[in-house]
Structure 1
Amino acid sequence: MSKPRRRKQKKQVKPELKLRQFAATELSDQLAAQPSAADLPRFMVDTVAGAYAPTDAQLMIEGFGAAATRPVTLRANTLKATAEDIAAALDAAGIAHRPVAWYPDAFILPEAQVSDLWDLDIYRDGKIYLQSLSSMMPPLVLGVQAGEDILDMCAAPGGKTTQIAALTQGKAHLTACEMSIPRAEKLESNLHRQGAKNVPVMRIDARELDEFFRFDRILLDAPCTGTGTVVSGNEKSLRGLTEQLLGKCARSQRALLDRAMGALKPGGTLVYSTCSILPQENEDALQEALDKHMDCELIPLDGTPSESEARRAQAAGEEPRIESNALTEAIAAGQVSAIANGLPGTLTIPPSRDFEGFYIALIRKRS
């Protein structure tokens, strides 16, 4: 006689989880009804609603609308000119400008168009580099020094590579990686134009970087969905933005992080950044990499000490050392806004009139 089959019990969903899911769905509906979300993919709105506090999620969505009036920003290329030289040239051309408080080499041009710069000598001679304020942040957090072995893992078109060259006055051993031949050619052209000499460009997939390479500092500004650069009403900024692209980028980012952490020297530092505001590409990817590479630790950018520094200070009876750089100081001074994400100590810069949405994290390999 056969035994009676047991009925499969339905998995019970905890009441608090149901409430969170309901709240996220309700918030997503509210966000999707905002004018600045009218043309955003629904998966993107749903993700923002589930990943951030309601006020921060609202700030994100409003930022995509404010991005339509984002001003032109540029950086003085200090390999060829000083910030004072650039200010004088802009004055002579009748172009209004103001300096960026947290980065003296950077300028905001509140009334100019990019085309207003094309005929200027400072543009033609590579004395300036047009670059968003958010994308100037990762090299500043990396804290590069002359004489160090530095890798820019996904370097094209070269804004951050040339910025690193300028920050070290060309005195670091800087290497750039780019797997796309056309993009590598663009990178090489920009390096030449900016006067960044002796910067070898390796035309390889950085995920396949040879095991014998080791670096003091690595910048991994990973290819991503670009959700932080979306501009409401701008079809071009939304082109190709699908869940399939998100999945592809997330897989690539995990492989790149794995290789980057492996290529760090003991005591070396890595900055991981994306121009995305989606957790799958940011804190989720980074947490997986940190769980795998137990010899690497997060260096918080929120005014708290790292785990190892907290232990060291407690054992020594000292105050812990806190990571300080131009970006952390700017946030403390209220010059840059950052919002909480799922991995404390990492930074999410929400999109706004002045800033693209960006994610930045600092990692150190233990000595």
Structure 2
Amino acid sequence: MSEPFLPLPEAFIKRLQQIVPPQQLASVLESFYQIKPTSFRINTLKSDPEQVKQQLQDEGFDLQPVAWFNQAFTIPNEQRRALTESNAFYQGEIYIQSLSSMLAPIELAPQPGETVLDLAAAPGGKTLQMACMMNNQGALSAVEPVKSRFFKLKANLEQQGASMVKTYLTDGRTVGGKCPERFDRVLLDAPCSSESRFSQLTPKSWSHWSLKKVKEVAKKQKKLLLSALYSLKPRGIMLYSTCSFSPEENEAIVNHILKKFGEAVILEPLQLSINRLQVPANNLQAHSSTSIPLEIQPGLTEWNQKSLHPELANSTRVLPNKVMDGFYLCKLKKIASFF
């Protein structure tokens, strides 16, 4: 039996009213009871994208290309089970992944030959995406502290042919001390309160949520972000992201870093904020596609009547809609050594 349809927590709604622009609030609230299409990415480490695309179309899948990422497609949600039973899925030629989560590796833009860290890697979607972007060339380290999730990560990496990745079962908060200034780029998609995954069709999706929980995860996120920055080389780039709306987990965390390190860290504008995410040169040539809506707002520079660092306007909150999940992204550049 399906779960009863229940309203979202009142405290959560009130916070959204403070965060989301009034003209977009109705569509954001509507997104929490919509069934979104299934999105996936073609694995270029194991397959030719055009061949996989044609194969899936021949099998009857209604593929909708994504304008801003030519290796990504959506299908109607009712075709999801069939996709998980397809040969392309079993062969590791595709990976089912939220469209919003694909933005983080695209914005970090790791290059072949670089030394890159994924500090909270399981189940591995972003790690695998970066391995594709790097053509399996360079050094990509993936960290996960939870044993069950760690072995799921390893299994996904093996199935998808990401041979360049080294995995570490360890707490990400210790990595900065163990590996100071080792990495050219760092991705931290931080564990969070998962507010963007709330669904009024599945009340248990928010059963864990409370303002106390938000504050608890924020403490862990702050330590993870510090560790990530300590592990980053001077002049290196890191991408911080969450699937939460709460400023305590997003702007407030980054604000703490900017206050702590001053001019040694700056926030760089995100590509999707500048040009709505044109396809990077190392992706496939553009083809005609149905536009996937990207609704974004600049990061907050004020919360709860407290001013935050003005550079936080360079961060971005992706607003949820009928296709996209909510997401927060922030790109930091380390200007000078902390040591």
Q: What is the TM-score when the length of structure 2 is the normalising length? A: 0.85
Could you tell me how far apart the structure 2 residues matched to 1:84 and 1:328 are? 18
Whole-angstrom CA distance in 1 between matches of 2:198 and 2:328: 14
**2:296 aligned to 333, 338, 350, which one?**
338
Structure 1 position 176 matched with structure 2 position 148: no
- Deviation track 1:90-132 (CA, whole Å, cap 9, x = no partner) reads 1121111121111010011136432112321111010000001
The answer to which of 206-215 and 115-124 deviates more is: 206-215
Q: 2:189·2:242 contact (CA, 8 Å) conserved in 1?
A: yes
Distance 1:102 1:366 in 2: 30
Which AA in structure 1 matches 2:319?
Answer: P
1:212 counterpart = 2:163: no
Instruction: Report the residue type matching 1:143 in the other structure.
Output: A
CA RMSD of aligned residues (A): 2.4
Give the secondary structure class of the aligned counterpart of 1:273.
Answer: strand
1:256 corresponds to: 224
Q: Say whether the 8 Å CA contact 2:293–2:323 is kept in structure 1.
A: no
Contact 2:258 2:266 in 1 (8 A): yes
- 2:13 matched residue in structure 1: 45
Contact 2:297-2:316 within 8 A present in 1 as well: yes
Instruction: Report whether the alignment pairs 1:89 with 2:55.
Output: yes
Q: Which of residues 269, 279, 282 is equivalent to 1:300? A: 269
User: In 2 relative to 1, CA 288–356 (structure 1 residues): closer, same or farther, beyond 3 Å?
Assistant: same
Q: Match for 1:262: what amino acid?
A: Y
Question: Aligned-pair distance for 1:280?
Answer: 0.9
Tell me the secondary structure at the aligned position of residue 241 of structure 1: coil
Counterparts of 2:248 and 2:330, CA distance in 1? 14
Q: CA deviation at 1:265?
A: 0.4
Bigger relative CO (Cα 8 Å, ≥ 6 apart) = 2
CA contact (8 A) 2:292 2:323 kept: no
* Partner Cα separation in structure 1 for residue 178 and residue 265 of structure 2: 17
Q: Mark the structure with the bigger radius of gyration.
A: 1
Structure 2 residue corresponding to 1:242, chosen from 210, 218, 226: 210
1:211 Cα deviation (Å)?
4.0
> How far apart, CA to CA, are the structure 2 residues paired with 1:134 and 1:212?
29
Q: Alignment partner of 2:123: what SS?
A: coil
The aligned counterpart of 1:348 is 317
Letter in 2 for 1:339: Q
Match in the other structure for 1:226: 194
- Give the residue type in structure 2 aligned to 1:247: K
CA contact (8 A) 1:59 1:350 kept: no
What's the offset of the Cα at 1:198? Answer: 3.2
SS of the residue corresponding to residue 48 of structure 1 reads: helix
Aligned CA distance change for structure 1 residues 182 and 133 (closer, same or farther; 3 Å): same
Indicate the structure with greater strand content.
Answer: 2
Aligned pair 1:365/2:334, yes or no? yes
- Judge conservation of contact 1:228–1:350 (CA < 8 Å) in 2: no
Give the aligned length: 310
2:303 match: none
Aligned-pair CA distance for 1:323: 9.1
Q: Which is worse superposed, 140-149 or 113-122?
A: 113-122
In the alignment, is the contact (CA less than 8 A) between 1:153 and 1:218 conserved in 2? yes
Distance 1:56 1:179, change over 3 A: same
Moved >6 Å (runs of 4+): none
- Given the superposition, is the C-alpha separation of residues 303 and 98 from structure 1 closer, same or farther in structure 2, using an over 3 Å criterion? closer
Q: TM-score, structure 1 length as denominator?
A: 0.79
Q: Write out aligned runs for 1:16-31 (5 A).
A: none
Cα distance in structure 1, aligned partners of 2:40 and 2:272 = 28
Alignment of 1:275 onto 2:233? no
**Equivalent residue number for residue 133 of structure 2:** 167
Structure 2 alignment gaps of length 5 or more = 282-290, 301-311
Unaligned runs of 5+ in 1: 1-36, 305-321
Contact 2:64 2:73 (8 Å CA) reproduced = yes
Structure 1 153/49 Cα, relative in aligned 2: closer, same or farther at 3 Å?
A: same
Amino acid of the structure 2 residue aligned with 1:287: N
Bigger Cα displacement from structure 2, 211-220 vs 71-80 = 211-220
Deviation at 1:263, TM superposition (A): 1.3
Identity across aligned pairs (percent)? Answer: 34
